[in-house]
């Protein structure tokens, strides 16, 4: 029996390696940090002292986490970021490099402080609270010579931005757009400088609150329609909903579906929810046909609406949600390089994110491509 299991593992490992995308260089621009992750029985009340149950020091930061995930899935990630020449900076770079992230374009300042975060994990709710201190001095475009920028972007399949370091990020995005490299934006919050990045975006992944916050439209689906109308270069927008899964609006190509009668986007989403197999604990996806999706008072766009589910993780296995969104993005980067259709991309990304939630911190639970439980989502 042991020989059979080992043989199956070797077979899947060879399949996974042979199925790596031909173009797998991705570039990420954003935050890399060191995280002090502490678990507590419950978050403290004001002016209350409590004792942590467990403490770990781990690499973190949105871009650092997403690229670590991408590296473990077999991609070749390059990071554009900044750290100081302090102890924290050395730890950040060593961990990224050990996972296969190219750090040759990370700026190291003489003096200052590297980015660090306090992450408090509530054992009761399995949620986390983050307090982060950004790198000082902040990264500016002059920190990145043009030769380094062009070297970083050379042969890149996708460039990803986490919304941090916005002045430098805009310069990198403008160069990527000039080179016709697709751009993925993580729109977690409506931060300073984000609108300039969104104008150049090819793909947008956003948090649950962002669409309504950015568009001032109360309905999530109508807000997604508004985003695609306001950003004509965006091919799809995904909103992540944690344990409730995700919603994706994909723009149609060459006017496909434009001859079909209009359908109310909100009603369409409700019909997709009725098609979800509630007995399936693993991530899945249901999608509409390509059609004209209407949002009252907003407009109409031709495209498809997709609803992805998250894995139903038993409470005994759920440890920490820190970095789950970054893991989702790292998996999307892989899916884009592998040219996965959305119906496969969303469940795959959700499954990778679920692995992250089974360990403390953003990176310890991230899977590698040869992980057998990823096999059904890759083929």
CATH of the domain at 81: 3.40.1190.20
**Higher model confidence: residue 109 or residue 45?**
109
Quick check: is 8 in a domain?
no
pLDDT bucket at 258, cuts 50 / 70 / 90? low
Quick check: is 100 in a domain?
yes
Quick check: is 171 in a domain?
yes
**From 17-26, 142-151, 319-328, the region with the lowest mean pLDDT:** 17-26
Note down the domain range covering 303: 22-28+61-114+139-378
The token duo for 141 is 């475009």
Q: What is the pLDDT of residue 255?
A: 65
Question: Residue 108: is it exposed, middle or buried by C-beta count within 10 angstroms (0-12/13-18/19+)?
Answer: middle
d(CA 42, CA 330): 30
Quick check: is 52 in a domain?
no
Q: What is the pLDDT of residue 4?
A: 46
**From 1-10, 155-164, 327-336, the region with the lowest mean pLDDT:** 1-10
The token duo for 154 is 């050379």
H-type helices in the chain, by residue range?
2-18, 62-72, 87-98, 146-153, 166-178, 194-198, 210-215, 220-230, 265-275, 324-338, 342-356, 375-378
Q: What is the pLDDT of residue 263?
A: 94
Q: What is the pLDDT of residue 45?
A: 87
Domain count, the chain: 1
Q: What is the pLDDT of residue 17?
A: 52
Q: What is the pLDDT of residue 253?
A: 81
- Residue 10 scores a pLDDT above 60: no
- Give CA angle at 75 (73, 78), nearest 5°: 125
By percentage, how much of the chain surpasses pLDDT 90?
Answer: 83
Mean predicted confidence (pLDDT) in 352-364: 95
**Higher model confidence: residue 297 or residue 124?**
297
Q: Which of 83, 37, 76, 73 lies closest to 57, judged by CA?
A: 37
Mean pLDDT, the chain, rounded, equals 92
Query: 275-278 long-range CB contacts below 8 Å, 24 or more apart?
Result: 276/307, 276/309
**From 163-177, 257-271, 302-316, 322-336, the region with the lowest mean pLDDT:** 257-271
Quick check: is 72 in a domain?
yes
**Higher model confidence: residue 15 or residue 371?**
371
Mean predicted confidence (pLDDT) in 279-286: 95
pLDDT bucket at 2, cuts 50 / 70 / 90? very low
pLDDT bucket at 124, cuts 50 / 70 / 90? confident
Quick check: is 125 in a domain?
no
- Residue 107 scores a pLDDT above 90: yes
Q: What is the pLDDT of residue 9?
A: 46
Mean predicted confidence (pLDDT) in 295-317: 95
């Amino acid at each position: 029996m042991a020989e059979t299991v080992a043989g199956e593992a070797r077979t899947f490992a060879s399949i996974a390696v042979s199925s790596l995308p031909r173009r797998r260089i991705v570039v990420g621009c954003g935050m890399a940090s060191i995280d002090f992750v502490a678990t507590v029985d419950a978050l403290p009340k004001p002016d209350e002292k409590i004792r942590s149950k467990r403490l770990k020091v781990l690499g973190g930061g949105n871009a650092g986490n997403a690229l670590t995930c991408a590296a473990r899935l077999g991609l070749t990630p390059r990071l554009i970021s900044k750290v100081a020449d302090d102890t924290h900076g050395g730890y950040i770079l060593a961990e990224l490099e050990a996972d296969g992230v190219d750090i040759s374009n990370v700026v190291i300042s003489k003096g200052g402080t590297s980015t660090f975060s306090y992450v408090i994990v509530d054992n009761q709710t399995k949620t986390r609270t983050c307090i982060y201190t950004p790198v000082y001095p902040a990264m500016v475009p002059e920190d990145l010579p043009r030769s380094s920028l062009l070297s970083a972007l050379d042969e890149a399949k996708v460039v990803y931005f986490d919304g941090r370091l916005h002045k430098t990020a805009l310069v990198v995005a403008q160069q990527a757009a000039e080179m016709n490299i697709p751009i993925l934006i993580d729109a977690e919050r409506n931060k300073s400088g984000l609108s300039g990045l969104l104008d150049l975006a090819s793909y947008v992944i956003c948090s649950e609150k962002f669409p309504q916050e950015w568009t001032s439209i109360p309905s999530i689906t109508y807000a997604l329609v508004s985003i695609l109308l306001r950003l004509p270069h965006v091919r799809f927008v995904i909103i992540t909903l944690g344990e409730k899964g995700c919603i994706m609006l994909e723009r149609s190509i060459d006017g496909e579906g434009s001859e079909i009668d209009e359908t109310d986007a909100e009603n369409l989403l409700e019909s997709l929810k009725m098609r979800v197999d509630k007995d399936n604990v693993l991530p899945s996806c249901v999608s509409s046909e390509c059609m004209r999706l209407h949002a009252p008072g907003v407009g109409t766009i031709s495209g498809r609406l997709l609803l992805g589910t998250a894995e139903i993780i038993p409470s005994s296995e759920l440890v920490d949600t820190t970095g789950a969104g970054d893991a989702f993005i790292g998996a999307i980067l892989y899916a884009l390089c592998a040219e996965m259709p959305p119906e496969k991309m969303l469940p795959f990304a959700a499954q990778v994110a679920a692995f992250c939630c089974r360990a403390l911190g953003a990176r310890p639970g991230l899977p590698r491509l040869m992980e057998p439980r990823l096999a059904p989502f890759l083929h």
